[in-house]
Amino acid sequence: MLDKAKMWTNQRNKELRDRAAKVIPGGMYGHQSTAILPDVYPQFFRRAEGTRLWDTDGNEYIDYMCAFGPNLLGYRHPSVEDAATTQQRLCDTATGPSEIMVELAERFVSMISHADWAMFCKNGTDATTMAMMCARAHTKKRKILAAKKAYHGAAPWCNPYVAGTVPEERAHMLYYEYNNPQSLEDAFRAAGDDVAGVFASAFRHDVFEDQELPTPEFAQSARDLCDRTGALLIVDDVRAGFRLARDCSWSTVGIQPDLSAWGKCIANGYPLSALLGSEKARAAAQKIFVTGSFWFQAIPMAAAIATLNQIQKTDYLERMEKTGAMLRSGLATQASSHGFSLRQTGPVQMPMILFDDDPDMRLGYGWVSEALTRGVYIHPWHNNFICAALTENDVKLTLEITDEAFAALKKKRATLGPVPQLAARFARLHDESLTAAR
């Protein structure tokens, strides 16, 4: 139980940041860097269990980021941990894969309607890069279409920034507007008869933006354009997979892709990603050379089998929908009672929470900071994540805290200034020499 009487402190986090600054470039890097989050956000953590996270100073949080997705069932879910521990006693990284790799592939393929085969890897970027290679090998064409601002990984071809990359690495990338069939058709036309594959995120879940579910018209037009040209349709389900459905996320709009990329939560936090494909792409998948030192380790595969069990056999999804809806409606009521208006978009189990009338995000930053020091970890510009361990009591406790946070924000409202670390971010996003030309 969150101890609300305990004082929030961050001395040890500060000391660790100072030490980190000496031996890690920038003190931290990548999506888990807190460099442009509010100052109070801790960088380093000690413990995680269920819905809870403890930072290095011992502060406890109800965690709505879920490790940016991997935590689907609750941190350290007993059945997943048991499977991992049992496998650990047998073997993990060895000279060949464990026999359970076959069981996992059979299991995963049986659950995903479009899939006839699976390949496992480590990073989400591995899965999306494999999808791109597979599409090119299958079609013998070159162009890859992706939605503007969509995140498909951090490799040079899909990196949201250009530092350290060369233009040639994106030579055959073309961009369309998500949920805009005309824009997609225009991109096909611009590519000539050279489209290898079309990437589409499960839904529009770009940072700093309202989220949007795919429209059936858009999904159908993507399917039709691919069928007409022979290009492969690729759903990037790395972030959203198994949070919208027990199948590929586009099953919710009745569309089957040719390839789907998975990662994050498929082993409830153990490192595993995957590319799943339909029969027609199998020969191409067999041609490409892809591998990694740890792709065949067995512990994450055992954890994945246990996770898929929970996905198939429990109401994990319905519970996330229920607690997510409870949180969303509670926040909306609170916000308006304190004189604020929220834009809560996307599926309730992956909520983006932005403030209306907050062009430089000072309200959002103020509010999440107040919530954080009271024990609720919410991200100000990335979608949040609900996990199946979240209970109605957790949501009630969260809402008690967010209510206090809204009240504190209201008091401070007139004195809030622009957010310095975010001003730099916005400047960077708008500097075309630094961000990908799309």
Note the Cα 62 to chain centre separation in Å: 18
Tell me the sheet residues that pair with 49. 52
CB-CB neighbours of 218 under 10 Å = 25
For the record, the structure tokens of 421 come out as 């670390």
Q: Rounded to the nearest 10 degrees, how much is the dihedral formed by the CA atoms of 85, 88, 89, 90?
A: 130
Q: How far is the CB of 180 from a copy of itself (least distance, A)?
A: 27
Q: How far is the CB of 104 from a copy of itself (least distance, A)?
A: 9
| Helix, coil or strand: residue 276 | strand
**Stretch near a copy of itself under the rule CB under 8 A, chosen from 115-123, 243-251, 252-260, 338-346:** 115-123
Among 10, 51, 59, 98, binds a copy of itself (CB under 8 A): 98
409 lies in the site for a copy of itself, by CB under 8 A: no
User: Which of 50, 46, 55, 62 minimizes the C-alpha distance to 9?
Assistant: 55
Which residues ranging from 295 to 334 are in contact with a copy of itself (CB under 8 A)? Answer: 295-297
381 lies in the site for a copy of itself, by CB under 8 A: no
**Stretch near a copy of itself under the rule CB under 8 A, chosen from 65-73, 223-231, 406-414, 415-423:** 65-73
101 lies in the site for a copy of itself, by CB under 8 A: yes
394 lies in the site for a copy of itself, by CB under 8 A: no
65 lies in the site for a copy of itself, by CB under 8 A: yes
For the record, the structure tokens of 146 come out as 């992706």
Nearer to a copy of itself, 42 or 364 (CB): 42
Instruction: Report the C-alpha gap between 258 and 244 in whole angstroms.
Output: 19
Question: How big is the site for a copy of itself, counted in residues (CB under 8 A)?
Answer: 112
Among 11, 96, 193, 313, binds a copy of itself (CB under 8 A): 96
Instruction: Report the C-alpha gap between 23 and 108 in whole angstroms.
Output: 40
Note the Cα 104 to chain centre separation in Å: 22
* β-pairing verdict for 232-236 and 195-201: parallel
Nearer to a copy of itself, 171 or 217 (CB): 171
79 lies in the site for a copy of itself, by CB under 8 A: no
Listed in sequence order, the residues at least 6 apart from 6 whose beta carbon sits closer than 8 Å to its beta carbon are: 59, 60
Q: How far is the CB of 408 from a copy of itself (least distance, A)?
A: 23
Nearer to a copy of itself, 113 or 180 (CB): 113
User: Which of 234, 290, 248, 3 minimizes the C-alpha distance to 119?
Assistant: 290
Among 238, 259, 372, 399, binds a copy of itself (CB under 8 A): 238
Tell me the sheet residues that pair with 337. none
116 lies in the site for a copy of itself, by CB under 8 A: yes
Q: How far is the CB of 431 from a copy of itself (least distance, A)?
A: 13
Site string for a copy of itself, 125-164 (x = CB under 8 A): xx--x--xxxxxx----x-----------xxxx-xxx-xx
Listed in sequence order, the residues at least 6 apart from 169 whose beta carbon sits closer than 8 Å to its beta carbon are: 156, 157
245 lies in the site for a copy of itself, by CB under 8 A: no
Chain position carrying tokens 């406790």: 397
Which residues ranging from 157 to 216 are in contact with a copy of itself (CB under 8 A)? Answer: 157, 159-161, 163-166, 168-169, 171-172
